[in-house]
Chains A and B, each alone.
Chain A
Amino acid sequence: MMPSTLLGPASLLGPTSLLGFVAGGGTACGFAMVPLAAVNWHGLFFLAFAVVACVMAVAVVLADNVVRMAFYLVLSLGATAGLFFLAGAEFVGAMQLMIYVGGTLVLLVFGVMLTAQAPFVSIKTATGDRVLAGIVAASLLAVLLQAAFSVHAWREPGRFPGDTGGVVEPMSTPLGMALVGVRVDDPSPGLAQENGGGNGDGSGGAAAGGRSGYLLPFEIVSVHLLVVLVGAAYLARAKRRRSSRELSEAAR
């Protein structure tokens, strides 16, 4: 960042720009240089995290070495966690850091080490495949971006976190309650009325309109995790007989 007083045109725009800063990242991203009366830290951090996430995701695709790919992926997912924090979803951000970056990726690198024959193994992709994939990717990206920009409501700017009194409402408590089947956020009255009017007691009102929390998915996921635990342990178990035979063959 540099003070905009150093930039001639910017300082002509008014006395407020004397205090203004121009963020260098904005120009790199193709945005016009705008003198700001205040640094919009929220937007600045969003830009930083977004750029890291996207660049590192592309780097994952371009890299050949598996561990480097894992490292880029860590940066990308970590930056995504930062985006979640910026969006006010602190619990999801922390969860992302813990499970994805701390658990899954360590597991992946562990797998890389277990399956590497030589140091720094890399399996190259054919150039033709790369070109083809590039074309497909460009068209897919174009479609997705077009879809993202097509809905007018999505293009409306959000709020500065400062507008909500400096803090976002803590979200982990209602989130946890939703997971055990209780929606503490008020059920939308329109839906409740459609289903025959809101009944007097709170539980009936919550169940009406189909918003009765996520208890069943939560239970299913936990059972699923248990199954996965057993299954993964079974699949990856050490095969004593086979390995000893291979050892004796190697010794011969």
Chain B
Amino acid sequence: MNPLVDPVGVVHYLVVGAVLFTAGIVCMAVKRNALGVLMGIELVLNGANVNFVAFGSPVLRADAGPLAIDGPVIALFVIVLAAAEAAVALAITLNFYNNHSTVDVDRADELKG
């Protein structure tokens, strides 16, 4: 288990992925800046990516087998979709800023009953 002695295994990557995921969730929850929320989403997706790569890596596990392709491919799709999502979200944020002169998501309450 000690990465300084034993080879690094899947579980080490899972821990990193869990930390990234949690940080992203918290970031999405507490940030009031729309761009901060966006960064939280990126972190979440990245934490998931770490897991995908870890499960598919032939270095980390001897029994990766055909997952050696599946893991990286899914990670690639996640990266590409994250880029697309960031572009659209940024456009929405800019639009919001044009209309309200702020990027504080708590101020986006026009439809509140």
Q: A residues within 8 Å of B by Cβ? A: 23, 26, 31-32, 34, 36, 40, 42-44, 46-47, 50, 53-54, 57-58, 60-61, 66, 69-70, 73, 76-77, 80, 83-84, 86-89, 91-92, 95-96, 99-100, 103-104, 107-108, 111-112, 114-115, 117, 122-125, 129-130, 133-134, 136-137, 140-141, 144-145, 148-149, 153-161, 164, 168-169, 171, 174-175, 178-179, 183, 185-188, 211, 214, 217, 221, 224-225, 228-229, 231-233, 235-236, 239, 242
Contacts and interface: CB of A to CB of B under 8 A. Distances in A.
A92 to B, nearest CB: 5
Contacts of A83: 13, 16, 50, 53
Given A87-B60, A115-B103, A154-B9, A26 B4 contact: yes
Contacts of B71: 89
Top 7 nearest A-B pairs (CB, nearest first) are A235-B91, A148-B14, A144-B18, A57-B23, A43-B3, A87-B57, A236-B91
B59 A158 contact: yes
A89 B53 contact: yes
B7 to A, nearest CB: 4
Contacts of B111: none
Given A26-B4, A111-B93, A187-B66, A148 B59 contact: no
Contact of B75 (A47, A58, A92, A153): A92
Contacts of A174: 68-69
Given A36-B4, A137-B22, A224-B84, A115 B97 contact: yes
A154 B10 contact: yes
Contacts of A77: 42, 46
Nearest to B22: A141
B50 A89 contact: no
Given A100-B83, A242-B98, A92 B76 contact: yes
Contacts of B39: 60, 69-70, 73, 108
10 contacts: A96-B79, A111-B90, A133-B29, A154-B14, A158-B9, A160-B7, A178-B73, A179-B76, A185-B66, A235-B95
A117 B94 CA distance: 13
A61 B27 contact: yes
B23 A58 contact: yes
A231 B87 CA distance: 9
A148 to B, nearest CB: 4
Contacts of A169: 58
B8 A112 contact: no
A228 B106 CA distance: 26
Contacts of B33: 66, 122-123
Contact of A43 (B4, B38, B50): B4
A73 B9 contact: no
B61 to A, nearest CB: 6
B103 to A, nearest CB: 5
A209 B64 CA distance: 17
Interface string B41-83: 0110010011001101111111101101101110111011111
A157 B9 contact: yes
Nearest to B27: A61
Which of B4, B33, B76, B88 has the most C-beta atoms of chain A within 10 angstroms of its own C-beta? B4
Contact of B11 (A26, A134, A154, A242): A154
